[in-house]
Amino acid sequence: MTPVQDAAHMARAIELAAHGHGTTSPNPVVGCVVLDAAGQVAGEGFHAYAGGPHAEVVALAQAGERARGGTAYVTLEPCDHTGRTGPCSRALLAAGVARVVIAVSDPHPRAAGGAARLRGHGVAVTAGVLAEAAERGNEEWLTYVRLGRAHVTWKFAATLDGRSAAEDGTSKWITSAEAREDVHRLRGAADAIVAGIGTVLADDPQLTVRTGGRLDGALSGGALDGGVSVDGAGGREGAAGAGADAGEGAGVGQGAGVGQGVGAGAGRRMPLRVVVDPDARTPPSARVLDDQAPTLIAVADDADTDLKADLLRLPRHDQGLDLEALLRELAARDVVSVFLEGGPTLAGSFVRHGLVDRVVAYLAPALLGTGRAALGAAGVGTIGELHRLKFDEISPIGPDLRLVARPSPTPGTQPGREK
């Protein structure tokens, strides 16, 4: 295979992996393409839900004997341990695959080692093909493993002059129905939706997902139709996976639609709703406490409350709560990705402490002049301290724009927990 052919097949594996967004936590999403010895596609698979067969196993099952002497393209290094499923490295060996192409090495210390096992048994291994695209598609899980905390996407909607509400506090609706539907799609791909007590008291939001749309590749580095992928990666870049104990079901059969059979018992779930409420002021009648989704109220250690809700007590910090402790506690509850939808104060706190991993902004072609800014105090006293980001995507969505930006990556060293 030429480098161009390798890249093309890996791009397909990344695309397949994207179909797992929203159903795989606390495990990564993974895609796999298997070629026969003649270089023809023999099998495809992706991670659909935790506890099911891995992407490699799905693709190998579809390929059958055609996999012998062929090549497997996998978005994350095949796992080399036994959890709820067996090691993918041994499945590839048993299938007689002659070559394995990997996008990203598995950072999990207990799942890594698949590449070494394959090489030790005479299988040719090529690593690093489309690594950046695969990492981008699986950034939530990689943050979870490397930093030991949940990954945070901060979403806001604003006018072109950066206002999220008018002077009288009204904000419905700044952006279009198309943008709001997209927000629900992104919510549905997250493990938790986080809002502050100010938002709960002012708007009484329900914080649920109210769309049946597809979540595939919800925010994977590519642009919406007609949009611009700023980093040049293009397309819908899925995710990498197969670390801790990934479950990857739902193979793609010849002549079948992608995601058929996504499984048996692997339906979408409502994200956990999290309210950051240091003084426990959430009213018992708040809609966020209804039975439409699970809810967690994060309060201070010393908060006095008899609220009948699932409480998470955290240390006070910086006129609020210790947000990094919150993200670590959420990770301990298998929350890999957080969708932050609080007001400007909570958003400012997350930004100030370097806990925002991705920003999704919906900008409407409108001006307010006065009113509430989208972002509150973010620890910037002079222009030299501003938080610079890099645009990854600029996409039209209805009459509005969706902008996706990320700060410079911060290397992490603390691994997450195996599942």
Each residue's pLDDT expressed in tens, for the chain with a length of 419 residues = 899 999 999 999 999 999 998 888 898 999 999 999 999 999 999 989 888 889 999 999 999 999 999 999 999 999 887 776 678 999 999 999 999 999 999 998 777 789 999 999 999 999 999 999 999 999 999 999 999 999 999 999 999 999 998 988 888 899 999 999 999 999 999 999 999 999 999 889 999 988 654 444 456 544 333 444 343 333 222 332 323 333 333 344 332 222 323 333 345 578 999 999 999 999 999 999 999 999 999 999 999 998 989 999 999 998 899 999 999 999 999 999 999 997 899 999 999 999 999 999 999 999 999 999 999 988 888 998 889 999 999 999 999 999 999 997 544 433 333 33
Domain ranges of the chain: 3-138, 148-228+270-407
What is residue 212's predicted lDDT score, i.e. its pLDDT? 53
CATH code matching the domain that covers 148-228+270-407, chosen among 3.40.430.10, 3.40.640.10, 1.10.10.10, 3.30.420.40: 3.40.430.10
Query: How crowded is residue 120: how many other Cβ atoms within 10 Å of its Cβ?
Result: 11
User: Cα dist. 386→88, 164, 326, 380 in Å?
Assistant: 45, 20, 25, 6
What is residue 145's predicted lDDT score, i.e. its pLDDT? 94
Whether 139 is catalytic is no
Instruction: Please provide the CATH number assigned to the domain covering 3-138.
Output: 3.40.140.10
Question: What is the distance between the alpha carbons of residues 418 and 262, in angstroms, rounded to a whole number?
Answer: 23
Question: What is the distance between the alpha carbons of residues 326 and 346, in angstroms, rounded to a whole number?
Answer: 13
What is residue 303's predicted lDDT score, i.e. its pLDDT? 93
Task: Examine residue 344 and say whether the peptide bond preceding it is cis (omega within 30 degrees of 0).
Answer: no
Looking up tokens 């549905």, which residue turns up? 188
**Pick the catalytic residue: 56, 140, 237, 393?**
56
